[in-house]
Structure formats: structure tokens, C-alpha cells
């Protein structure tokens, strides 16, 4: 009996371990597939942003001012400021060098212009002057200043004479932080390289930035891990890669994608995820289920032992009862077998149906994501080149046609961005870069941008926007995403109001039972005097494609709801009690 018990418990835990390992292997494969799609999406996004920078710089080099050699003066400065506004979220500085490599114009976020500085000793300046083609700088100019440069030569189109160059600088850590974590090794992080293998940004250890991956410092850090070395070598050859490795700082999944600019791999991106972050979600559940199963098995064997002892002691008295009970048990077992077969068949059918649904959903998400990126990739050059043509064309009718192209390209750009946001929300991939922001300032920024913008659907009507600060409001949030929500709600109010008023209020609300800071929330309301919310859509207002408008996509409110809820807030809407217009409101935890 003891041998049977020991063998049974051993077999139970053996098969239990196999099952758990199979579950972990399945989760690992799912994460690799998901991360391959995500890293490809991020690399395409980075490539599109760098392509936009090159398009803007190219547009400046071909402008009338630069072609005529006017590298100085207020007019040239004004043109640079206009174009710098398009890419200032991506680059840090933009400056112009004359034939002697002296800075003639400069713009930067810090206000430093570097006018008069001599850049002739810089390698990338020499390469542009000699090669007369766009150039990406190699590595960093000095340790601690982690910046790369994109430079375009200014060449006269009539006589092919070299006039000078225009360049933009990009702080690599700040730039790649726009697309993911580059500071924390304990969660998913990004690693970026240039063509020589120099590390531009890395979440594993900031001291590795500026070091060559194949140098002694980095190789000692990763303990010369062969798998990671092979993955990185493959990536730097321009081929995507993936693998799982452990160099002594926990096991990790690595997926690599080249960043393509102008049809050529220019930089290289690795997305790294600790496997413990994946398995930690199921570890507690597996332990509880293992404990339950073990307790149940122990209980069953204890009951069997007690039953055997009881039967041995009372065999003569209970023989007939045992026979009777055995017959009943046999009958019950037959019924259970039939039921078990039915349940097994049902489970198989459900599993197959579920697998089909998963495949369909994955194909749908991949198609939407791919379509959105494919739409976005040509939009940036269209906008940049249309902008360049707009500066060159003087005919009023032709300029009007270009404005139609730009307006519709921007509408298509917004639509592709909305599709990407929906995909991120539904796939739980929405990442927030939170910091303390002044909510009143953010509202005023949105109002200013709308009033000074070019959206004819909004600015075509004579609507008045009213907002007055009531109290200081600070929230811990992603400034770009909150700007997106406020802009969407105000734009909707303006679109549905004719010659009326849109009133915005922002205030702090305290919990009824506790007035400490942890229970404060900021509430923003946007009220209009328009047509109100259609009764057919009010119940599903924040669902996808819920709209009666002929100009909207029906995605804006759904995305806004996803952003606000990701911040731990609420969003709601109602028609005004006086029967005129509607009010949209949202709340955020306040500091």
C-alpha cells in the first residue's frame, strides 16, 4: 500500500510538472510572436519619423532662399522656424553651415543658435562636403554627449555648386524613449545601434550608451553570451532576429528589427522582455491549483485507506451491502463515462472554435496594423513635398489645389493614427509616458492650436470658445495623450455647433468621506450649444464607429475612453438639461 501511495504521488507531480512546462512554453511562443509584430511596428514608426526629418531638410535645401545662397537674414530664419515646428518633437537642433563650414543660422529647444561656430573639424561635415549626399553621423563625437546628426547638402540646381549644408541633431536616448523604455532593466526595454554596433540607447545599463556592442565593456557585461552575439550580428546585417538567452541577469526574449530610412537599414532596434514578467502572471495560479490538486489527491487516498480498514474489520457483516454498493457504483460509473465522453467531445469542439477565433482575431489585428502603417508611410512624404510645392507655387488656383491635397492627407494621417491607437488599446499595448502636467495649461494649448489651426471643418463656423482658470490643477499623466483627448472633445463640440459657444470648465473634486490628496480628482467639462447627442447613438457613444457624422470615423471617443481609463479616470456624456447642446466630461486622479 505504501509503495502504491508513493508511486501515485510521484506520478501525479511528474505529470503536473509536464503540464506546467507546456503552459510556460506556450506562453513563451505567444510572447515571441506578439513581440515580433510589436518590434516591427516600432521600427517602422521610427523609420517614418526619421524619413519626415529628411523630407523637411530636403525641402529647405530646395527652397528659393537656400538655392539663391541666402543663408543669412530674417527671412531665412523665419523659413527655418516654420519647418522646425514640424519636427521639433523629434530633433533637438537645426542649423545651417556655409561653404566654409561656419554656422550661419541655428534653432534649438534651449535657444542656443551656435551662429559663428566652426564645424569644419567634424567628420560628418567633411563627408557631406566631399560626397554631396545626405549623411548620418557615425557614433558619437564625445563620450557623454549622445547625439547623432542628419545632414543634407545645399547644392544649386542650375550649376551644381556646393552652397553649404543644413543639419539636424537628435539626442539618441530622448529620441528612442519616445517609442519605449530605455531606462529600466526590470521591464521590457529597447536597445538601439548604429551600423558599426555603437549603442545609441539601452534600458539594461545607461553606462553602456556610446560603447560598441562587440567591445570589451559590453561583452564583459553580457558575459560573452553567444546567443545574444549571434542575434545582434544577424540584426546588424539588416535581417530581423529573435531568440531567448540568459547572461546572468534573468532569462530574456529578444526580437530585433532594422530601422529602414530611404530604403536602407540605417539604425537597428532590439526589444527585450524578461521572461519572469510573463511567467509571474501565472505562477501564483499554478501554485494554488497544485496545492488544491495535491490536497484532493491526499484526501482521496486517505479516504481509501480508511475505507479499506473499515471493510476489513466489518467484512462479514457488510458483504451484502458492499455487493449492493458495488452494483450502484458500476451503474454510476457507466453514466459518468457517457457524460465524460459527451463533455470531451464538447470540449474538443469548443477548443477548435476558440482556436479559429484566435487565428481570425490575430489576422484581423495584423492586417489593421499593417494597413495603418502602410497608409502612414507615404503620407509623410506627401505632406512634406506638398509643403515644398506650396512654397514654390504662386498661382492662387494651384495653391488651392495643394491645400486640398494637404488637408486630405492630414485627414488620412489622423485616420491611420486612430487605427493604430485602437489596435494598441484592444491589444493592451497602449504605453503612457507620465509626468506632472498643469491641466489648465494643456487646455489653453489645445484652444490656441485650434483657433490658429487650418482645419476648415472647425474654423469655418463662427463659434466662440470660453475658458477661464478657476484653480491650479496638476495631474500625473501623459501630456500628449491628454492633449489628444481634450483636442478631440473640443473639436467634436465645434463641429456640432453652428454660430454658438463652447464652454470649458476644469475644477478639483474631493471625496465625500475623505479630503486628503489621495482622493482628489480633476474634472474637465466641455459644453456646447449645438444639436446635442442623437438618441440612436447615446447608449453606445464610446464604442467603435458610433457616429452619425459624415466627416468623422467614430473612433475618436472610443480612443479617448481608452486613454482616460488607462490613466485611472472616467469619461461620460449627456445632453444638456435645457435641451440645447451636450456636455462631455472626464476625470483624472489629481496630485
Annotate 38-74 with DSSP letters as a single string: HHHHHHHHHHHHHHHHHHHHHHHHTSHHHHTT--SSH
Look at 63-72, 354-363, 434-443 and tell me which has the smallest mean pLDDT.
354-363
376 has a pLDDT exceeding 70: no
Instruction: Among 96-110, 144-158, 166-180, 387-401, name the one with the lowest average pLDDT.
Output: 387-401
Inform me whether the pLDDT recorded for 284 exceeds 80: no
pLDDT of residue 139: 74
Q: Which of 544, 522, 525, 542 is closest to 533 using CA atoms?
A: 542
pLDDT of residue 515: 46
SS3 443: helix
CATH architecture type of domain 314-430 = Orthogonal Bundle (1.10)
Most distant CA pair in the chain, distance: 118
Question: For 52-171, which CATH superfamily applies?
Answer: PAS domain (3.30.450.20)
The pLDDT-based confidence of 372 (bands split at 50, 70, 90) is low
Q: How confident is the model at residue 369 (pLDDT cuts 50, 70, 90)?
A: low
Helix axes 556-566, 479-495, angle to 10 degrees: 150
Task: Give the distance, in angstroms, between the CA of residue 289 and the centroid of all CA atoms in the same chain.
Answer: 35
What residues are paired with 524 via a beta bridge? 506, 586
The predicted-structure confidence for 476-516, as pLDDT tens digits, reads as follows 999 999 999 999 999 999 999 989 999 999 999 975 544 45
Contact 591, 533 (CB under 8 A): no
Residue 572 pLDDT class (50, 70, 90 cuts) = very high
Within 13 Å of residue 61, how many CA atoms lie on the same side as its CB? 28
Section 548-562 average pLDDT:
78
Chain segment 59-94, per-residue pLDDT in tens: 999 999 999 999 999 999 999 999 999 999 999 999
Segment 511-522 mean pLDDT? 63
Residue 282 reports pLDDT greater than 70: no
Q: What mean pLDDT value characterizes the chain?
A: 86
**pLDDT value for 514:** 46
Helix (H) or strand (E) holding 529: none
Confidence of residue 9 (pLDDT cuts 50, 70, 90): low
Higher pLDDT, 487 or 333: 487
pLDDT band at 194 (very low <50, low <70, confident <90, very high): very high
pTM for the full predicted model: 0.49
User: Do 502 and 465 contact (CB within 8 A), yes or no?
Assistant: yes
- What is the end-to-end Cα distance of the chain in Å, rounded? 66
State the pLDDT confidence band at 458, using cuts at 50, 70 and 90. low
**What integer pLDDT is reported at residue 460 of this predicted model?**
47
Q: Is the CA virtual torsion 479, 480, 485, 486 positive or negative?
A: positive
More confident residue, 124 or 518: 124
* Phi and psi, residue 15, nearest 5°: -70, -30
**pLDDT category, 204, cuts 50, 70, 90?**
confident
447-475 average pLDDT score:
80
All structural domains of the chain with their residue ranges: 22-36+175-277, 52-171, 314-430, 434-589
Reported as a single tens digit per residue, the pLDDT across 386-406 is 888 888 888 888 888 888 888
Provide the pLDDT for residue 381: 85
CA 106, CA 81: separation in Å to the nearest integer?
9
Phi-psi domain of 428 (left: phi exceeds 0; alpha: psi -120 through 50; beta: other): left
Task: Give the residue, 324 or 54, on which the prediction is more confident.
Answer: 54
Q: Give the residue among 558, 572, 566 at the shortest CA–CA distance from 419.
A: 558
Mean pLDDT of 146-168: 95
Containing 315, the helix (H) or strand (E) segment is helix 315-392
Phi-psi domain of 269 (left: phi exceeds 0; alpha: psi -120 through 50; beta: other): beta
Other CB atoms within 10 A of residue 32 CB: 16
Q: How confident is the model at residue 181 (pLDDT cuts 50, 70, 90)?
A: very high
Choose which CATH entry (3.30.450.20, 2.40.50.100, 3.40.630.30, 3.30.390.30) describes domain 22-36+175-277.
Answer: 3.30.450.20
Instruction: Evaluate whether the domain defined by 434-589 bears CATH number 3.30.70.330.
Output: no
DSSP class of 176:
H
Cell of 242: 529573435
Q: Dihedral through CA 533, CA 537, CA 541, CA 547, nearest 10?
A: -90
Report CA torsion sign: 64, 47, 399, 76: negative
Q: Residues 213-234: pLDDT tens digits?
A: 999 999 999 999 999 999 999 9
Does this chain's domain 22-36+175-277 share its CATH topology with 52-171? yes
- Residue with the bigger pLDDT between 575 and 281: it is 575
Q: CA-CA distance, 50 to 238, in Å (whole number)?
A: 17
Across 133-147, average pLDDT: 80
Q: pLDDT exceeding 90 applies to what percent of the chain?
A: 53
Task: Kindly report, residue by residue over 527-544, the tens digit of the pLDDT.
Answer: 999 999 988 888 889 988
At 125 the pLDDT is 95
Amino acid at each position: 500500500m505504501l509503495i502504491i501511495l508513493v508511486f501515485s504521488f510521484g506520478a501525479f507531480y511528474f505529470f503536473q510538472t509536464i503540464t506546467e512546462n507546456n503552459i510556460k512554453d506556450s506562453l513563451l511562443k505567444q510572447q515571441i510572436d506578439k513581440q515580433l509584430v510589436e518590434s516591427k511596428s516600432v521600427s517602422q514608426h521610427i523609420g517614418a519619423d526619421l524619413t519626415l526629418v529628411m523630407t523637411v531638410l530636403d525641402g529647405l535645401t530646395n527652397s528659393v532662399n537656400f538655392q539663391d545662397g541666402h543663408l543669412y537674414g530674417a527671412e531665412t530664419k523665419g523659413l527655418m522656424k516654420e519647418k522646425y515646428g514640424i519636427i521639433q518633437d523629434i530633433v533637438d537642433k537645426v542649423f545651417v553651415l556655409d561653404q566654409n563650414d561656419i554656422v550661419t543660422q541655428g534653432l534649438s529647444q534651449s535657444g542656443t543658435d551656435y551662429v559663428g561656430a566652426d564645424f569644419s573639424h567634424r567628420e560628418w561635415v567633411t563627408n557631406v562636403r566631399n560626397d554631396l549626399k545626405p549623411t548620418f553621423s557615425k557614433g558619437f563625437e564625445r563620450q557623454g554627449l549622445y547625439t547623432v546628426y542628419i545632414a543634407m547638402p545645399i547644392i544649386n540646381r542650375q550649376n551644381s555648386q556646393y552652397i553649404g549644408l543644413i543639419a539636424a541633431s537628435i539626442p539618441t536616448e530622448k529620441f528612442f524613449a519616445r517609442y519605449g523604455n530605455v531606462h529600466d532593466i526590470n521591464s521590457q526595454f529597447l536597445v538601439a545601434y548604429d551600423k558599426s554596433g555603437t549603442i545609441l540607447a539601452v534600458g539594461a545599463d545607461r553606462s553602456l550608451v556610446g560603447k560598441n556592442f562587440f567591445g570589451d565593456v559590453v561583452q564583459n557585461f553580457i558575459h560573452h553570451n553567444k546567443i545574444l552575439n549571434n542575434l545582434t550580428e544577424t540584426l546588424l546585417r539588416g535581417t530581423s532576429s529573435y531568440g531567448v538567452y540568459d547572461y546572468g541577469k534573468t532569462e530574456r526574449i529578444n526580437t530585433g528589427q532594422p530601422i529602414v530610412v530611404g530604403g536602407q537599414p540605417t539604425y537597428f532596434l532590439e526589444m527585450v522582455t524578461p521572461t519572469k514578467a510573463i511567467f509571474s502572471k501565472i505562477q501564483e495560479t499554478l501554485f494554488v491549483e497544485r496545492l488544491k490538486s495535491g490536497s484532493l489527491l491526499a484526501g482521496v487516498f486517505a479516504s481509501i485507506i480508511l475505507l479499506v480498514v473499515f471493510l476489513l474489520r466489518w467484512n462479514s457483516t457488510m458483504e451484502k451491502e458492499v455487493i449492493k454498493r458495488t452494483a450502484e457504483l458500476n451503474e454510476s460509473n457507466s453514466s459518468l463515462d457517457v457524460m465524460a465522453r459527451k463533455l470531451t467531445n464538447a470540449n474538443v469542439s469548443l477548443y477548435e472554435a476558440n482556436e479559429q477565433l484566435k487565428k481570425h482575431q490575430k489576422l484581423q489585428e495584423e492586417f489593421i496594423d499593417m494597413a495603418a502603417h502602410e497608409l502612414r508611410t507615404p503620407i509623410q512624404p506627401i505632406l512634406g513635398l506638398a509643403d515644398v510645392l506650396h512654397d514654390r507655387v504662386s498661382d492662387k488656383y494651384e495653391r488651392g489645389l495643394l491645400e486640398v491635397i494637404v488637408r486630405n492627407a492630414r485627414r488620412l494621417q489622423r485616420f491611420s493614427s486612430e487605427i493604430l491607437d485602437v489596435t494598441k488599446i484592444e491589444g493592451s499595448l497602449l504605453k503612457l509616458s507620465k509626468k506632472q502636467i498643469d491641466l489648465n495649461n494643456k487646455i489653453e494649448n489645445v484652444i490656441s492650436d485650434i483657433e490658429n489651426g487650418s482645419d476648415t471643418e472647425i474654423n469655418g463656423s463662427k463659434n466662440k470658445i470660453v475658458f477661464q482658470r478657476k484653480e491650479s490643477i496638476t495631474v500625473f499623466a501623459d501630456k500628449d495623450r491628454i492633449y489628444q483627448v481634450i483636442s478631440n472633445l473640443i473639436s467634436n463640440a465645434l463641429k456640432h455647433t453652428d454660430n454658438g459657444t463652447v464652454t470649458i470648465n476644469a475644477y478639483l473634486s474631493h471625496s465625500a468621506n475623505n479630503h486628503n490628496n489621495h482622493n482628489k480628482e480633476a474634472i474637465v467639462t466641455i459644453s456646447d450649444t449645438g444639436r446635442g447627442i442623437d438618441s440612436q447613438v447615446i447608449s453606445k457613444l464610446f464604442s467603435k464607429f458610433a457616429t452619425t457624422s459624415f466627416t468623422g470615423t467614430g473612433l475618436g471617443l472610443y480612443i479617448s475612453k481608452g486613454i482616460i481609463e488607462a490613466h485611472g479616470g472616467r469619461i461620460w456624456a449627456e445632453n444638456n438639461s435645457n435641451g440645447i447642446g451636450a456636455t462631455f466630461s472626464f476625470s483624472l486622479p489629481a496630485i
